[in-house]
């Protein structure tokens, strides 16, 4: 029998690890033709993504992002998970850019992302867009995320009241989003302490059509997670549901010894089932290929598969058109990567309890996995979906940019040479020009043009004459100060000579060789000349003094 002292010195039982219990549901709503929302929730990871980009890309963006993150659903991070969630979202953003590059029809697609990653007693939070995260803790219900919308910015700046936001004409305009917009989008990141019993609600903005106080009451008072999720979606449908709606509700609890699959919403997939699923997907893809090879995969319920036009889909090369058995795949099969992607994805999903809803669930079920063509066939699934093939990913990083590595430096060098050559030719041309201006209160000839290029003066003094500026007429002084352009040096010297001789920049007419400034009566018998001119003209001779010209009189 143990002594009291021994009993008192017993160590307290170790804390049990924390996990998430959860429920999720997604609905296309009353108006939309397909579901662009995607969500995943498991024991350690919860993600909601609301896709956008029209009929072509909304479901692709959300499904690609969610499927790219599912491998994070575990608690074993040797170096900690401080940057894991943010890095993974940036990687998903790069994947979206690659998909758009592969298929320009997806240009402009994007998605919101709101995610939680549970590591020990800490909860890592990441958010971009207008999906929301609410927390109920110690009886306090509050919104943790901040909407990255135009109206929220107006509210933050005090230019709009919160109650006016719901009716604002631009309430759906997003200021930040993941996708074909920004190479490195800004995320809201936080690390929060977590306690057993607290609840989290992640949802797309489709739930905004249910009043906030009603949502809070449902989360507070409905004990069963599944029932609460169903009620919230049903309330949205009753309110008209003009948008897709996705709801994930989770509760932080201590893990029990027998709590292995109690929260699972998936059965383990056997190899036989995998083969059967691949065969069905191949047959469906072959049938679709006969009718419309570039059509978007859609389900009867309105939810579209995540592969849009021209995006490779698993099974697209499987089976022949007449329904005969498919030949064994070879290493040269261009669609082998997609087959591998679907199989690896199903293995990932079958390895742990989870719920997958929305466009991502449709993609996983049909094998329409968004993948990036152009990567080697054996690498795609691991690098795009599970990130397990580290060696292959390093090979891609080394080989993929090699084709274009030389292109940008060459273009930059050509542009640099062109700019330098253009500047030099322009400067050389200016040095062939001349003008007359003022220097040291005297008339001077300048080589170049009377402008500056930054600190560089594009002219220099060629000659300073002895002509003082105050010896010129007021008009001539103004002309010289504003500079008088010349065709060449000789023209500039002519302008200076005119200034010296006449005081003007214009060339004055000179007397003719005969000495007659105007016609005489003898020369022009039919001209109507006054009698005084007729009398004066016979006395004119080649040696007579010419009549002063107007420019001479101006002097």
SS3 of 211-234: the string is CHHHHHHHHHHCCCHHHHHHHHHH
Structure-token pair, residue 464: 């300073």
Coil, strand, or helix at residue 544?
A: coil
Q: Is 435 left (phi over 0), alpha (psi -120 to 50) or beta?
A: beta
Contact of 39 with 48, CB cutoff 8 Å = yes
Buried b (16+ CB within 10 A) or exposed e, 498-518: bbeebbbbeeeeeeeeeebee
Does the structural domain 18-397 have CATH classification 3.30.590.10?
no
Structure-token pair, residue 144: 């943790």
Model confidence band, residue 100 (pLDDT cutoffs 50, 70, 90): confident
Q: Which of 501, 454, 507, 466 is nearest to 484 (CA)?
A: 507
Residue 123: other Cβ atoms inside 10 A: 24
pLDDT at 226 > cutoff 90: yes
Contacts of 27 (CB under 8 A, 6+ apart): 35, 233, 236, 237, 241, 244, 245, 246
Q: Give domain limits for the chain.
A: 18-397, 430-502
| CA of residue 395 relative to chain centroid, distance | 27
132 sits in which H/E element: strand 132-137
In sequence order, what are the beta bridge partners of 45? Answer: 117
Mean pLDDT along residues 91-109: 86
pLDDT tens digit sequence for 520-538: 333 333 333 343 333 334 3
pLDDT tens digit sequence for 280-317: 445 544 543 333 332 333 333 333 333 333 333 333 33
- Per the prediction, the chain carries an average pLDDT of 73
Is 362 or 184 the better-scoring residue by pLDDT? 362
What is this structure's pTM?
Answer: 0.56
pLDDT at 334 > cutoff 60: no
Contacts of 16 (CB under 8 A, 6+ apart): 254, 255, 256
- CA 29, CA 295: separation in Å to the nearest integer? 23
Structure-token pair, residue 471: 């010896």
Per-residue model confidence (pLDDT) at position 236: 97
| CA of residue 16 relative to chain centroid, distance | 44
Q: Which of 335, 381, 310, 297 is nearest to 326 (CA)?
A: 335
Phi and psi at residue 185, to the nearest 5°? -65, 150
Model confidence band, residue 441 (pLDDT cutoffs 50, 70, 90): confident
Model confidence band, residue 95 (pLDDT cutoffs 50, 70, 90): confident
Residue 34: other Cβ atoms inside 10 A: 20
pLDDT tens digit sequence for 447-464: 888 877 777 778 888 889
Coil, strand, or helix at residue 185?
A: coil
Residue 127: other Cβ atoms inside 10 A: 26
pLDDT at 518 > cutoff 50: no
- CA 179, CA 100: separation in Å to the nearest integer? 9
């Amino acid at each position: 029998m143990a002594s009291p002292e021994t009993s008192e010195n017993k160590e307290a039982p170790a804390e049990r690890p924390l996990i998430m219990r959860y429920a999720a549901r997604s609905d296309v709503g009353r108006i939309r033709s397909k579901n662009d929302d995607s969500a995943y929730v498991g024991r350690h990871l919860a993600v909601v993504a609301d896709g956008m980009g029209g009929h072509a890309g909304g479901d692709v963006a959300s499904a690609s992002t969610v499927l790219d993150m599912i491998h994070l659903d575990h608690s074993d991070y040797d170096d900690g998970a401080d940057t894991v969630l943010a890095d993974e979202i940036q990687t998903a953003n790069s994947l979206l850019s690659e998909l758009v590059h592969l298929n320009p029809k997806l240009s402009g697609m994007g998605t919101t992302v709101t995610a939680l990653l549970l590591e020990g007693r800490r909860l890592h939070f990441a958010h971009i867009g207008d999906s929301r995260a609410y927390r109920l803790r110690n009886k306090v219900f509050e919104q943790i995320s901040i909407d990255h919308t135009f109206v929220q910015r107006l509210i933050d700046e005090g230019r709009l009241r919160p109650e006016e936001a719901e009716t604002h004409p631009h309430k759906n305009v997003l200021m930040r989003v993941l996708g074909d917009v920004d190479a490195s989008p800004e995320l809201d990141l936080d690390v929060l302490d977590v306690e057993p019993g607290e609840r989290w609600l992640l949802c797309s903005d489709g739930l905004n059509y249910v009043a906030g106080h009603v949502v809070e009451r449902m989360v507070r008072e409905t004990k069963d997670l599944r029932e609460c999720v169903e009620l919230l979606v049903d309330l949205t449908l009753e309110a008209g549901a003009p948008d897709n709606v996705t709801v994930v509700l989770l509760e932080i609890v201590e893990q029990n010894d027998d709590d292995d699959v109690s929260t699972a919403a998936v059965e383990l997939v056997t190899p036989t089932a995998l083969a059967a699923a691949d065969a069905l997907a191949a047959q469906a893809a072959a049938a679709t290929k006969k009718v419309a090879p570039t059509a978007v995969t859609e389900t009867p319920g309105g939810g579209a598969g995540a592969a849009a036009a021209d995006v490779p889909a698993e099974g697209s090369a499987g089976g022949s058109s007449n329904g005969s058995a498919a030949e064994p795949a070879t290493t040269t099969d261009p669609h082998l990567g997609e087959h591998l992607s679907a199989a690896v994805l199903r293995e990932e999903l079958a390895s742990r309890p989870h719920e997958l809803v929305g466009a991502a669930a449709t993609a996983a079920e049909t094998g329409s996995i968004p993948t990036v063509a152009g990567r080697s066939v054996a690498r795609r699934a691991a690098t795009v979906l599970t990130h397990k093939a580290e060696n292959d990913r390093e090979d891609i990083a080394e080989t993929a940019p090699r084709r274009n590595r030389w292109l940008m430096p060459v273009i930059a060098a050509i542009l640099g040479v062109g700019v330098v050559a253009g500047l030099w030719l322009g400067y050389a041309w200016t040095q062939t020009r001349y003008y007359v201006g003022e220097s040291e209160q005297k008339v001077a000839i300048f080589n170049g043009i009377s402008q500056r290029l930054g600190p560089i003066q594009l002219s220099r003094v060629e000659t300073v004459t002895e002509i003082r500026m105050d010896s010129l007429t007021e008009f001539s002084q103004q002309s010289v100060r504003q500079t008088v352009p010349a065709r060449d040096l000789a023209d500039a010297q002519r302008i200076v000579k005119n200034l010296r001789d006449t005081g003007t920049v214009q060339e004055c007419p000179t007397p003719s060789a005969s000495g007659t400034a105007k016609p005489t009566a003898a020369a022009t018998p039919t001209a109507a000349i006054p009698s005084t001119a007729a009398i004066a003209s016979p006395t004119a001779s080649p040696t007579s003094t010419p009549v002063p010209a107007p420019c001479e009189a101006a002097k």
